[in-house]
Amino acid sequence: MSERHTDSELVLIAFGTPGLLLRRATEQETQANLIRRRVMSYMSHKGERRNRLTEWQWATCYLLGDGFGQVDRAFAVEQCWDWSHVRDSSEQALANMWEVIQGYDPKHPEA
């Protein structure tokens, strides 16, 4: 049975990069996935921590997303705060959202 690899792992394997770098890429990807899951737990309407943010805090985080590019409040309202803007955001945008969320929720263990 073959192992499953992410795209970043396959690139590293294809170019014969040492295993240490492969592990680091996997750890970074794991960190990015962890941040994504944490942000979604606050930003998704089904997220277990959705009620810990006020509407204003949620909107502030939403505007940090880049799924539709950089947006302002008027655009967000026009698009009915379309969820895919958050869902499709880059790792950097999600990391920015997570940093802000941590400041809003002192009860969260990672905050």
> Taking the domains of the chain in order of start, what are their residue ranges?
7-104
Instruction: For residues 103 and 42, give the distance between their C-alpha atoms in angstroms, rounded to a whole number.
Output: 13
pTM exceeds cut of 0.85: no
Residue range 59-86: mean pLDDT, rounded? 94
Per-residue pLDDT for 4 more than 70?
no
CB 98, CB 35: distance < 8 Å? yes
Among 27-31, 55-59, 64-68, which stretch is predicted with the lowest mean pLDDT? 27-31
Q: Is the pLDDT of residue 106 over 90?
A: no
Report the C-alpha gap between 52 and 63 in whole angstroms.
18
